Structure 1
């Protein structure tokens, strides 16, 4: 299909400044996915079920001290366990699925902590639908759900932290800060490295010395736990969004626990700490990798496809390969966005290969009108 002639100017005006990278477009409106209401219902129902299974698996890990099974050390476990037992407030995440040949969603992983493509999903594809396919629906209540969640959070002031020199992360955090303000909260932007420590009061503070009581961050907990201030988190009284326990859900080790506990669930793909018994085709993933880095597809004893990255030395899990239908040669991955454990939106990325990465184009979707 044809793209809007002025699409770069339109999406930039709407806040998407990272629509192209190294000459490649990461927003692609020359294609679109038209989903049936039944497909949308199937994806959302599966995501809702998996949210419950993930909570059961987390409880199983915490209560049975299975920290090594998910790649964590005992000294890291205390913070995560106490965060889980306190039931610390969590906002959002994104389940990533492939449809198998029978049309059933198969879980690849859960981006439970630092999920990106938020703006593409919540804003850009919604405007595209209004311009290009206004007669169709779209599974997309993400922005509305986030504003409502912030309104109901009871928080007054949230510091919003990001990593400098990463335009997508900064843009996503700025967008979220805008949603907080719409919800009536005070939001203060802050580079992550500007977070300080007030030793007298035992509090994290910003560059002005203001105490940080709540902090929304797109900085993963596996990195946070390596920071010099990690041992101060528990006593600081600062509440982080996402909280420490979400590291358990976002790491790949929990896929092995899910596979063990819920092997009979149709969306759970077999996953093991070693590749034995997975057949001739399987996928290796770093325990705490992001955006497809260092993921490899193995076929008949050889690597058929892989991506480079900074997680090559990490321990891995091994997941059975999911054969998924292609559309005009492209493999679509369907992300279901969750807010407060409820499915609220779908976002699609596609690739000509078999591994979705942070550079894989985001493609808008529409939903067929019900008969």
Structure 2
């Protein structure tokens, strides 16, 4: 694993925007703007390193399945995860009958040498999909840098939609029209383009789509079912809107009631993803696998904030994370001895916390300063499918981080330099 300096394409900014990266410009605190996409640097991996990341990803996914079983069997554990009591019956029911689940993204620590470690699982509404599946693949093809890229995302997503929707069709005896929703509260364009890309995958899978905002979803008080603005009943809905937000909304109880009724809306990702998109998954995994000789190597000791064992991490340092936090908000990194290494503000934390053994991101430093990568390994239809890398100047990956493409087996030409 190396961070290399490469070549920039002429007109690359217009090129990536045409591929869907309309949210490339990031405004930093001083008011300036900078590119979210890094065009002239990339990370390079050997084929063996990619195989290792894929194997770890598949093993972590299987571990999450077992952790879900553990959590569902323990009401007190669900309380600690702040899983709403009035939704637990539908979470259990959907877990058992396995409605469509399309994708998720593990965020891993790795320096290319030690064992990869799980930082968290973005299981419900992961973004950075357009840049991972489309933009970096086009970059690879157009620049000719590297012999390959770990990127089966596009083909796998189309296949996942085709498989899951054909199962739905066989079960209900009719062909669904798929609605895909994003919230108008996101003004960056990222959610909109993620949904638009997913809609394209659904269409290539052979199904009709409608894209709308969550604010346009309507509840018919007569039959208590959900409809779009044209009066079409919503059979299948992909929503880029977190479950904890959805259930807290005014119509949250109606969503739960609709899931309870046979033939109600099929929500993607399904409501059981609340078990995995919650940082409480991390202490559940540690509880289940701390003594496992294989899986424990990929985990960091993690505990709920009120667990007496959390004090053990003061000696090693720890990350304090809100159960439902996003984009690094309200994360604190505490060094051994109590010094705060990094922290971010935000609106999370009232729901509770977990602490995770400190594992500072590696630094692939360059002449322009530090570069701390997080490896996002994607899971599509339950299998490892690709890699996207976000890189930050600081130790917390937030909404000011960069996206950096990657290659496999780059052959260094004469006079090429790299930072690590």
Please give the TM-score of this superposition, normalised by the length of structure 1. 0.96
Instruction: From 179, 192, 202, give the equivalent of 2:224.
Output: 202
C-alpha separation in 2, matches of 1:53 and 1:355: 25
Q: Is residue 104–residue 380 contact of structure 2 (8 Å, CA) maintained in 1?
A: yes
Greater CA drift, 137-146 or 308-317: 308-317
Please state if 1:163 is matched with 2:183: yes
* 3-state SS, counterpart of residue 326 of structure 1: coil
Paired residue total: 370
**Maintained 8 Å contact 1:92/1:341:** yes
- Superposed, 1:215-234 pairs within 5 Å as 215-234=237-256
Separation in 2, partners of 1:73, 1:113: 16
**Cα separation, 1, equivalents of 2:83 and 2:184:** 27
Judge conservation of contact 1:100–1:322 (CA < 8 Å) in 2.
no
CA distance in 1, matches of 2:190, 2:98: 30
Structure possessing the higher radius of gyration over alpha carbons: 2
Q: Give yes or no for contact 1:133–1:366 (8 Å, CA) kept in 2.
A: no
Task: In structure 2, list runs of 5 or more residues that go unmatched.
Answer: 28-32, 169-175, 259-263, 412-420
Q: Deviations over 1:298-336 (max 9, x none)?
A: 112132211122214331110001144321231111111
Q: Conserved in 2, the CA contact under 8 Å of 1:280 and 1:298?
A: no
What is the distance in 2 between the residues matched to 1:335 and 1:74? 31
**Distance (whole Å) between structure 1 residues aligned to residue 361 and residue 250 of structure 2:** 44
Q: Which residue of 1 aligns with 2:212?
A: 190
Q: 1:81 Cα deviation (Å)? A: 1.8
Aligned partner of 1:320 among 334, 342, 357: 357
CA distance in 2 between counterparts of 1:303 and 1:358 reads: 20
Question: Is 1:79 the counterpart of 2:84 in the alignment?
Answer: no
Determine if the alignment matches structure 1 residue 8 to structure 2 residue 43.
no
TM superposition shift of 1:151: 1.3
Choose from 237, 260, 281 the match for 2:317. 281
Output the TM-score relative to the length of structure 2: 0.85
1:33–1:365 Cα contact (<8 Å) kept: yes
Residue 241 of structure 1 pairs with residue 241 of structure 2 = no
> CA-atom RMSD, angstroms?
1.6
Deviates more, 1:309-318 or 1:337-346: 309-318
Q: What is the CA distance between 1:187 and its match in structure 2?
A: 0.6
Deviation, 1:199, is 2.4
> CA separation in 2, counterparts of 1:112 and 1:312?
19
Which residue pairs with 1:43 in the alignment?
Answer: 53
Q: 1:356 to 1:324 in 2, by over 3 A?
A: closer
Is residue 98–residue 106 contact of structure 1 (8 Å, CA) maintained in 2? yes
Q: How does 1:288-367 map to 2 (within 5 A)?
A: 288-299=324-335, 300-328=337-365, 329-367=370-408
- Structure 1: gaps of 5 or more residues: none
